[in-house]
Chain A
Amino acid sequence: QQPVQSPQAVILREGEDAVINCSSSKALYSVHWYRQKHGEAPVFLMILLKGGEQKGHDKISASFNEKKQQSSLYLTASQLSYSGTYFCGTERSGNTGKLIFGQGTTLQVKP
């Protein structure tokens, strides 16, 4: 079953912050986050494993609440290059290669 992402779309000004949420009705082993620019393939951002781990990369970080089966992606001081569609991908068990993606959140950063 597809995880649910919210919001579906968000528009920001450069320098503003954004949070994208990903919720699943099933217990999760891991959550992946990817960004896709228009006309391109999705590109990996980060993976979070069960255990409530929080990761960060530059001004993009994410958390994973295993008990709530939720993950959030935090974009701080957004840049124009952050524009694109963000997907979370959820994995219910390890050693399968089976990743279920959400419907995506479109982020537009304006000057």
Chain B
Amino acid sequence: EAQVTQNPRYLITVTGKKLTVTCSQNMNHEYMSWYRQDPGLGLRQIYYSMNVEVTDKGDVPEGYKVSRKEKRNFPLILESPSPNQTSLYFCASSTSDPLGGTDTQYFGPGTRLTVL
């Protein structure tokens, strides 16, 4: 089954304790992204990746790191989490459409993070 998986689904942590949220897709997609969703603000892109070893900042990258060492995996790293990073996080993957744009984005189930 084609899917994007994220782990963990729920996480409660304390300020300053490094954490990693994993994301994996089995569709051989080139593009992968991380979003955070907060009430009234919609989905805001944190980082995106066009392929292995190619990543770029989205609109809200501060406090986050990513890496893309393999095509299928795109982990999100919070080196020193703070309470303002409490949010719902989505990973997504997509391929390019025949005309060069971004095709359908497939979203993972989400990770609800609480930083105390």
- Looking at the assembled complex, report how far the CB atom of B19 sits from the nearest CB atom of chain A, in whole angstroms: 21
Supposing A41-B90, A103-B42 touch, asked if A97 and B100 sit within 8 A by C-beta, the answer is no
A96 and B50 within 8 A (CB) = yes
Contact of A47 among B100, B104, B109 (CB under 8 A): B104
Chain B residue with the shortest CB-CB distance to A43: B107
* Residues of the A chain whose Cβ atoms lie less than 8 Å from the Cβ of B100: 94-95
In the complex, A68 has a CB within 8 A of chain B = no
B101 and A47 within 8 A (CB) = yes
In the complex, B94 has a CB within 8 A of chain A = yes
A-B pairs with beta carbons under 8 A, tally: 84
Using a Cβ–Cβ cut-off of 8 Å, how many residues does chain B contribute to the interface with A? 33
- Looking at the assembled complex, report how far the CB atom of B113 sits from the nearest CB atom of chain A, in whole angstroms: 15
* Residues of the B chain whose Cβ atoms lie less than 8 Å from the Cβ of A98: 33, 45, 48, 56, 58, 102
In the complex, B24 has a CB within 8 A of chain A = no
In the assembled complex, the Cα of A91 lies from the Cα of B35 at a distance in Å of 15
Chain A residue with the shortest CB-CB distance to B96: A95
Task: Show 10 A/B contacts (Cβ-Cβ < 8 Å), sorted by A.
Answer: A32-B104, A89-B43, A89-B105, A94-B96, A94-B102, A98-B56, A99-B48, A99-B102, A100-B45, A103-B41
Which residues of B pack against A, CB within 8 Å? 30-33, 35, 40-45, 48-50, 56, 58-59, 90, 94, 96-97, 99-110
